[in-house]
Structure 1
Amino acid sequence: MKFAILATGTRGDIQPFVALAQGFSAAGHEAVLAAPRAFESFVRSYGVDFFPMGSDFTALLESPEGKAALRENPIKTMQAVRQTVIPMMRRMLDDAWAAVQGADAIIYHPKALAGVHLAERLRVPCFIGAPVPVVVPTATFPAPAFVSRDLGGFLNRLTYAAVRSGTRPFRKMIDAWRREVLGLGPRREDEFTQGGQPVPVLHAFSRHVVPPPADWPPEAVVTGYWFARRVQVWHPPEALSAFLEAGPPPVYVGFGSVAGLDRDEGTRMALEALSQAGVRGILATGSGDGPRLLSPDVLAIPEAPHDWLFPRVAAVVHHGGAGTVAPGLAAGKPTLVCPATTDQPFWGRVVHQLGVGPAPIPRRQLTAERLAEAVRAATGDPEMQRRAAALGEAIRAEDGVAQAVAEILRRVGALAG
């Protein structure tokens, strides 16, 4: 069978679907991953077939319109939607239609709006792959990215209605695309049902991290994390290997695209905090030609594969995106989340509630002093370290990709039968 996978967003959004494509191939099926063109070399480096799909959210976030939207300026946000986002979405829909030709089933990230419409046109089953539990309503916790605190059962469930209506600004464009490209009329169902039945949602995280809520329906499945397998062995730069061997395990600090924190500000804050905490550090800058010492005890690196680096550090400090939380927890390391937006506060709360990391420090409250205090807690609390190691062992014992592939094949087979 052929499986078409649609994913868009940042690298953290794309990488789990690379793993899923690998899983289909390992099971003897054909899989193609459609994603923004900027990720082509990344996807192909894992031995996965790639199809370019127009919407490059990373470029959008770096654009003047995207930065204005992150500053929550309503006027700039609306301008970005009209002038930039909607045309990008239309290109994504057109490319997605080309990508799914001949597919027997479609699996898509919630941000890839085309999935359920294409399944309707091709009359094939579809599945949502969700690295974040933002699609299926529950009373247990509010929708991540909607609110940063528990509102109680009824209000928690209500927040999902707002999230699930997120395609409303694009409805006119989607209806035009359905008519012009798919030959379909306006959709009578919402984006989360197919043929009157809920679209199955496969959650790409561990039940040891987010246990399935009791009020989730059978269509909501927690599979375990989807970790991609590197095809080629990664060899670290000599400077990185030498730094790791020269002293005790350092603390990893990587703030990613934390809103409102520029690279220089983040570097200064990290250096001061690591010095106050009395620990060595590796600072991921996201740029530069190679590793360089910022001080005798801090090494700056452009990047390194998390699955290689995190087992070699004492603790991880980052913005809390799902794609970075996963390998940190799987490595069994205490994790400090410094969230700013979207799902990051959710993962910060989860990590702290599990007892595998200090309380999260929101970006607006982040100082060198607070960061140093949290780093000391992460590196000096034996019980936290024990819990983190035990959680990592439990996560590594799961095979989320195999579970997801088996679930999809089971449901596709049941429909075919």
Structure 2
Amino acid sequence: MRITIPTTGSLGDVQPYVALGAGLRTRGHEVCLATHADFERFVRCHGLEFFSLEEGGQALQASDTGDRMLHSGSNALAFLCEFARLRRPLLQHLLHRCWLACRGADVILSTNTEFLLAESVADREHLPVVWTSLQPVAPSRFRPICLFRPWPHGVPGSSTYNLATYAMTGLGMSLLLGPPLNRARRDVLGLPPIPFYGPAAAFLAPRLCLDGYSIHVVPPPPDWGVNHHVSGFWFLDPDPRWQPPSGLIDFLDAGATPVCIGFGSMHDRDAARVTSIVLRALDQCGQRGVLVTNWGGLLASPVSDRIFSVESAPYSWLFPRVSAVVHHGGAGTTAAGLRAGVPSLVVPFMADQPFWGRRVHALGVGPKPIPHNRLNVENLAESIRRMITDEAMRRRAAEFGGRIRAEDGVGRAADLLEQYFQSGTHSA
């Protein structure tokens, strides 16, 4: 099969699909990943075809709108509004580029960030679509969509609330993005408008849905259909050509095992303040630290016997070498922390990150999450101290890591995809 995967956003929105694409490629499929130009080298070095949807994912997130989106916290409606405001000016260009990327494909793997484009291009080209997600977003009466807080335990009304969260999300996307999307469908693809609930209703179609996370972390609810599968996380092992930055291995070996702190692609205009909090908290609890600066959530600090700063490093390499991890709670970073078998503290910024923080805490493999806007020296130091000294938490994290490492999410997803199309039950 020739498979096209359109996705945009941060590295966390791209890397799992590179892993899945690489796994499919080893089985003889042709895979094209369509995403930001930032990631071309990353995609191509794993043997996948690349198609540029948009120039700069990092620049988008550093914009005023992107900054507001990144700091929307647990406010799902604020996140949806800023996400839509970021996307509206780009829709026509993105739809045209997505259409070009999907020409000649046999199937489109739809993703959460680009499902509107995927559905529209599939309409135009009469292509089958497989829904994929890195988070639990398909409707269920047993839990809310991952953008919303859970209903209070033991209080009647949870089923109604849970279903309402999916309806509100679908309605919000239709109201915020429906008009510009319909203009783009008309101007670019010559298509009629989508039905009011068209994209959201895709969940109800009898198509294959693949969720790239572990059943040990988020078990599938009993009201999902037989074609909806939770495959396991889609991990990407480090490029064998990758080498650690000069001095990092020496730092790791030079003293007590350090704590790793980094906030991934979460750009922060007040990174100096946050970096100061992190350094003071590490000092207060007497811990060494590896600071991962990435897209600007932290600032690089001078190397010392207590602190080492690195712009980036594969989490699958770094996390098993540290004693605990403090991160933003992106789906991929959460998965890497769980796989490493060390405790994690989630400091969520937006969207699904509070959800992953609650899951880590509920599993007993990390302290209660600290929202980014409530982070201070005292609560960060206390949480780090607990991750280092709580032997029961450390034991649970190690055991849980073994369960995650025993899964083959990419292989399972590839099996399901092949079986689905070999069965002949799909339709465009």
The more displaced of 57-66 and 334-343 is: 57-66
Structure 1 pair 204–321 and aligned structure 2 pair: CA distance change class (3 A): same
**Does the Cα contact within 8 Å between 1:315 and 1:335 map onto a contact in 2?**
yes
Cα separation, 2, equivalents of 1:223 and 1:4:
19
What's 1:282 paired with?
A: 290
**Does the Cα contact within 8 Å between 2:264 and 2:295 map onto a contact in 1?**
no
What's 1:299 paired with?
A: 308
What's 2:188 paired with?
A: 181
Q: Which of 327, 330, 354 does residue 336 from structure 2 map onto? A: 327
**Does the Cα contact within 8 Å between 1:239 and 1:291 map onto a contact in 2?**
no
Check if 1:268 corresponds to 2:271: no
TM-score by length of 2: 0.89
Q: Deviations over 1:344-371 (max 9, x none)?
A: 1101100000000011111232111111
Does the residue aligned with 1:127 lie in a helix, a strand or coil? strand
**Does the Cα contact within 8 Å between 2:69 and 2:82 map onto a contact in 1?**
no
**Does the Cα contact within 8 Å between 1:55 and 1:89 map onto a contact in 2?**
no
**Does the Cα contact within 8 Å between 2:44 and 2:50 map onto a contact in 1?**
yes
**Does the Cα contact within 8 Å between 2:11 and 2:265 map onto a contact in 1?**
no
**CA positional deviation for 1:193:** 4.8
Q: Which of 110, 113, 131 does residue 111 from structure 1 map onto? A: 113
Letter in 2 for 1:209: V
Q: Deviations over 1:107-128 (max 9, x none)?
A: 0212112112222222221112
**CA positional deviation for 1:214:** 1.6
Cα separation, 2, equivalents of 1:70 and 1:292:
23
Structure 1 pair 287–160 and aligned structure 2 pair: CA distance change class (3 A): closer
Q: Deviations over 1:27-70 (max 9, x none)?
A: 11111000111211121222221000127443222113333555
Cα separation, 2, equivalents of 1:308 and 1:130:
25
Letter in 2 for 1:90: Q
Cα separation, 2, equivalents of 1:79 and 1:336:
26
**Does the Cα contact within 8 Å between 2:3 and 2:107 map onto a contact in 1?**
yes
What's 1:254 paired with?
A: 262
Check if 1:34 corresponds to 2:34: yes
Q: Deviations over 1:283-306 (max 9, x none)?
A: 112279x98645431111111111
What's 1:123 paired with?
A: 126
Q: Which of 154, 160, 166 does residue 154 from structure 1 map onto? A: 160
Aligned length: 413
**Does the Cα contact within 8 Å between 2:341 and 2:397 map onto a contact in 1?**
yes
Letter in 2 for 1:187: I
Query: For the aligned residues, what is the CA RMSD?
Result: 2.7
Structure 1 pair 259–302 and aligned structure 2 pair: CA distance change class (3 A): closer
What's 1:92 paired with?
A: 94
Structure 1 pair 333–22 and aligned structure 2 pair: CA distance change class (3 A): same
**CA positional deviation for 1:382:** 1.2
The more displaced of 349-358 and 123-132 is: 123-132
Does the residue aligned with 1:167 lie in a helix, a strand or coil? helix
Check if 1:170 corresponds to 2:173: no
Q: Which of 403, 410, 420 does residue 394 from structure 1 map onto? A: 403
**Does the Cα contact within 8 Å between 1:212 and 1:222 map onto a contact in 2?**
yes
Q: Which of 188, 197, 200 does residue 205 from structure 2 map onto? A: 197
**Does the Cα contact within 8 Å between 2:102 and 2:108 map onto a contact in 1?**
yes
Cα separation, 2, equivalents of 1:327 and 1:226:
10
TM-score by length of 1: 0.91
What's 1:352 paired with?
A: 361
**Does the Cα contact within 8 Å between 1:47 and 1:231 map onto a contact in 2?**
no
Cα separation, 2, equivalents of 1:229 and 1:271:
30
Q: Which of 218, 241, 244 does residue 226 from structure 2 map onto? A: 218
**CA positional deviation for 1:258:** 4.8
**CA positional deviation for 1:200:** 2.9
Q: Which of 351, 369, 394 does residue 385 from structure 1 map onto? A: 394
**Does the Cα contact within 8 Å between 1:178 and 1:185 map onto a contact in 2?**
yes
Check if 1:102 corresponds to 2:110: no
Cα separation, 2, equivalents of 1:78 and 1:334:
33
What's 2:9 paired with?
A: 9
Letter in 2 for 1:127: V
**Does the Cα contact within 8 Å between 1:46 and 1:229 map onto a contact in 2?**
no
Structure 1 pair 392–265 and aligned structure 2 pair: CA distance change class (3 A): same
**CA positional deviation for 1:198:** 4.0
Cα separation, 1, equivalents of 2:133 and 2:127:
20
**CA positional deviation for 1:90:** 1.6
Q: Any unmatched runs of 5+ in structure 2? A: none
**CA positional deviation for 1:261:** 6.6
**Identical positions, percent:** 41
